[in-house]
Structure 1
């Protein structure tokens, strides 16, 4: 099996041949549609700027149609892995945030709407654990 040449474009991974195919599809659809629309509006309006503007709008609509067709023909080549993150990665991230911004505080002190969102995102337990860790560290620091 031949190895694919994958490229990253706007945060997505694509096959280089598919990218060229999508570009060709866009040019192949949008340019002729624009030129036909320009010719048609030129005949209808006598070549004024309004006719060229309408032709441009139709050409842009053809670009969108070409993009939809290309997106359906050439799917992204991303690899999605679903599973548990490495143990402690959230705690390490919160430690880094606190190092930069200071203590995060008690999540129960958040306004009700923010608290509901934190719980919905599954971050409440992590924030509460971080707050407990900070309280223990402060208590240990105060005993010395």
Structure 2
């Protein structure tokens, strides 16, 4: 056996996660949801009207799901690190080329729409998309 074991990752809804952590979070969520529901089925017949026992039990099961969400959040922290570096217009052009988008068409649509232009300036990303010499409509 290797001293360092490589962790298996899977893609779920566009995000890459640890397979072991995914299984753990699913099991914790199922356990707490069902526990809340079945505890409600045992407790509520003594304190609630008969026609409301099922509804209250379901609410307790949902509360168990929320508790599982909080527990999973604290147990399994994100492992990715984001490195923010300023992008240049040329870098954006390369990304668009890889994605087979037309950067000039995008720049034209930004320049033609004052609302988009204003929002991009407020977000600080306008200069990444628009070449300084090409923009006469500031």
With structure 2 as the length reference, what TM-score do the two structures score? 0.71
Picking from 84, 88, 91, the partner of 1:89 is 91
Structure of higher RCO (CA pairs closer than 8 Å, 6+ residues apart): 1
- Structure 1 pair 36–61 and aligned structure 2 pair: CA distance change class (3 A): same
Unaligned runs of 5+ in 1: 135-144
Partner of 2:76: 74
- Larger-gyration structure (1/2): 1
Partner of 1:43: 46
Give the distance between the partners of 1:30 and 1:105, measured in 2 at CA: 48
Partner of 2:114: 110
Partner of 1:142: none
Paired residues, number: 129
RMSD: 3.3
Unaligned runs of 5+ in 2: none
The 5 A counterparts of 1:1-144 are: 1-45=4-48, 47-48=50-51, 50-85=52-87, 88-92=90-94, 93=96, 96-99=102-105, 103-104=108-109, 106=111, 110=114, 114-126=116-128, 128-129=130-131, 132=134
> Could you say what secondary structure the match of 2:92 adopts?
helix
With structure 1 as the length reference, what TM-score do the two structures score? 0.69
- Structure 1 pair 46–67 and aligned structure 2 pair: CA distance change class (3 A): same
> Could you say what secondary structure the match of 1:104 adopts?
helix
